[in-house]
Structure 1
Amino acid sequence: MSVYNKAHDLARELAASEEYKEYLKAKEKMEKDKTNLSILEEYRRKQWEVQMAQLLGQEVDEELLVQLEQIYQILSLNPAINEFLLAEYRFTRMLGDIQKILAESVESWFSVGGYNPMLN
């Protein structure tokens, strides 16, 4: 069986996994309420702004951090959004674990000039 066939098998397994099914169910439930979706989108936009400022070495606006915290407080009280975020976390953690397994199996591919970011 070719590597590509195995990749397609893995893709089918991922789509059939409990983690993915729970993610889709929670996503659908959360998206039924447009207010939930709007709040989550606003939170992620502000999170992105903070992360970009940090990556660029810029000082993060204090008001932005306050807004982010306020939105987080609203999110934390919302069961549908919490369920979605937890399901999303579980699925992305599984994908990350799989990526790590694959990367470790070909770790010499990451070695350039004696530096291996997988090990350092």
Structure 2
Amino acid sequence: MAVNVYDQANALEDALRNSDEFQNMKDLYGKVNSNPESKQLFEEFREVQMDLQQKQMQGEEINEEDVQKAQKSAEDIEKDENIKSLMEAEQKMSELIQDLNRVIMKPIEELYGLNNQN
């Protein structure tokens, strides 16, 4: 019996959307966005991250000023309980996705004997 992998992927997407981890993250993101100070800090943090990623992707050197800006931004968000809680929820969601990725990749790993290397 052929299985439509895309149907299964869509069911997984739905399960993720309804998971406690995602719902918690969604609620916490709402708290960040409803607090003007948290929202501004979070947007600044994301902007700094995206700038650094873009420089890395383009092969540009990251200078001391960039590093200091990133460190300052990270320190600022650590002081904000709304953002701190959201980042903890993001970490839990990331762990869930990593677990799912291990399950998804298991057939390929078994095929190539990646789990049975002697």
Range of TM-score over shorter length: 0.7 to 0.9
Q: What is the count of residue pairs matched by the alignment?
A: 111
Superposed CA RMSD in Å reads 2.6
Structure 1 runs of 4+ aligned residues shifted over 6 Å read none
CA distance in 2, matches of 1:95, 1:25: 19
SS state at 1:106 partner:
helix
Q: Unmatched 5+ residue regions in structure 2?
A: 113-118
TM-score after normalising by structure 2: 0.76
Question: Residues 29 and 60 from structure 1, CA distance in 2 versus in 1: closer, same or farther, beyond 3 angstroms?
Answer: same
2:18 is equivalent to residue 16 of structure 1: yes
Deviation of the 1:82 alpha carbon: 0.3
Alignment partner, residue 79 of structure 2: 77
Q: Cα gap change, 1:4/1:55 in structure 2, threshold over 3 Å: closer, same or farther?
A: closer
Distance in 2, Cα, partners of 1:97 & 1:108 = 16
Which sections of structure 1, spanning at least 5 residues, go unmatched?
112-120
Provide the TM-score with structure 1 as the length reference: 0.75
Which residue of the partner structure matches residue 53 of structure 1? 55
1:20 & 1:92 partners in 2: Cα distance? 10
Report deviation, 1:2.
4.1
Alpha-carbon shift at residue 108 of structure 1 (Å): 8.7
